[in-house]
Chains A and B, each alone.
Chain A
Amino acid sequence: QSVLTQPPSVSAAPGQKVTISCSGSTSNIGKNSVSWFQQLPGTAPKVLTYADNKRPSAIPDRFSASKSGTSATLDITGLQTGDEADYYCATWDNSLSALVFGGGTKLTVL
């Protein structure tokens, strides 16, 4: 059971938009910044966003993140087949004194 809750899977058609949610608590998302990672099959995770909504320069603006209270969301617009991957949210948990992850969401681009 992961500390952060993500839907196991989401799907959408190419060109469409998908939103992945990440639900936490006041000890983690409510107090600390959230990061989102994309993991393509057989590769290391890659950071999509960090510090709640900042994006590394190499990441296209199709990927955007936000946070409100104890929940965070990752939006992906203009879906491409190459976006099929597992997506993870992560943040620090003050009660556990640990970096915690969501269980991951598998994105299928139909």
Chain B
Amino acid sequence: EAGVAQSPRYKIIEKRQSVAFWCNPISGHATLYWYQQILGQGPKLLIQFQNNGVVDDSQLPKDRFSAERLKGVDSTLKIQPAKLEDSAVYLCASSFRGFATDTQYFGPGTRLTVL
């Protein structure tokens, strides 16, 4: 069974530029999550999708971050414009139904460096 795929693996940009990350969840998983992991901290949820609808985006900085999952499968996360403090690893995860008991499966992440 293929795992969660993410691309690119690494990205270096200058502040005020824009960047996009892509995630393809495990086949059949209804729920998709985007997390931000700043160096030295645990992952923090940015947004949760159930199929193609947003369940929780309360911690997404909506003035600069956006995410979509148009067909309920793969998803993109965009930052525009980027700030220095956006340097982090962006993790995508998926789970079968989104229940609290479900295991979340994580992709390898995209390491973003903002200069």
**A and B part of one assembly:** no
Q: Please report A residues at the B interface, Cβ cutoff 8 Å.
A: none
Q: Please report B residues at the A interface, Cβ cutoff 8 Å.
A: none
